[in-house]
Amino acid sequence: MPTANLSDAILTDLAKQLGDIVVRLRRNIPPQKRCGNIRLPPRKLGEQCVPVVDGTALTIRDIIQEGIKVNDPITTANEYYRLRLTEKLRELETSNTYAPNRSLAETLRAFISEQLPHLELTDGDGIPSSEFVLTHYDLSPRNILVSGQPPRITGLVDFEFAGFFPPVDEFLNDVVNNGGEWPREFYEAYLARLHEKGVATPVRGFDPDVWNRNCWLETLVGSIAPWYLPGGWKGEELQAKLREAEASARKMLKRLIRDHDKNREQAIQ
């Protein structure tokens, strides 16, 4: 969906249309108690799978975007992040690309085992515990089909990474991974439409502290072993990108550990 030549009024209308589509997806397809990507059933008999909904042929399995295969169901947001961070730690320690940043490994390993299990990543309302909603995972302009006059959204494409994930994930991907792809007016109208229809958003409905923790974790995941490196960078340019990623990872770890320690002290008092 090209956005550069659209008026504010048309952008607002399209934002409301997208909001209505997301609302229907979340309401018409029941939330699940397990987290992961939507997959076709396994070809090998006996291979473990978790049904999405009784009577369907689809399964909830693995975390495709991270290349993670799992045997046991993922039932909490903390376990979801443990798997993702552990995979990034493995990449950090085994890929030559990330070798300059391996000093992160000790702190990261300690965080995964000591602080992560105790982080509150749900708020019981906007982000219910152990409830995972249908998530497209890449609602960027390139994946929205629009046609006609006045313009109407006629479809969503690229469901490669779709699955059942924490209610914050669609927004985390928008903010952390796809930041800046939508015009501000569009995204504000989109969030307002979701709120109007009763869907919690980062602006209204999520506990701010819980939202921040999830944002920090998502940023940390993307900073440990960035998928886009080395890309076309070499030499000093690549080293600069690695230093930037390391600084981001350390910043997120510092925030998360400080937040954990503050909440632990408050619980003791």
pLDDT at position 54, please?
Answer: 46
pLDDT at position 30, please?
Answer: 87
Look over the chain and give the mean of its residue pLDDT values, rounded to a whole number.
Answer: 90
Percent of the chain with pLDDT over 90: 66
Q: How confident is the model at residue 64 (pLDDT cuts 50, 70, 90)?
A: confident
Mean predicted confidence (pLDDT) in 117-131: 86
The CATH architecture annotation of domain 8-268 reads: Alpha-Beta Complex (3.90)
For residue range 144-154, list pLDDT tens digits in order: 999 999 899 99
The residues near 88 (Cβ < 8 Å, ≥ 6 apart) are 66, 221, 224, 225
CA distance 235 to 27: 50
**Is residue 146 helix, strand or coil?**
strand
For residue range 33-63, list pLDDT tens digits in order: 899 998 766 665 455 555 454 446 678 888 9
- State the DSSP H helix or E strand holding residue 165, giving kind and residue range, or none if neither: strand 163-165
For residue range 160-207, list pLDDT tens digits in order: 889 999 999 999 988 887 777 888 899 999 999 999 999 999 999 999
Alpha helices in the chain (DSSP H): 8-28, 77-94, 104-114, 169-172, 184-196, 208-224, 235-268
Domain ranges of the chain: 8-268
Task: Give the DSSP letter of residue 42.
Answer: P
**Is residue 66 helix, strand or coil?**
helix
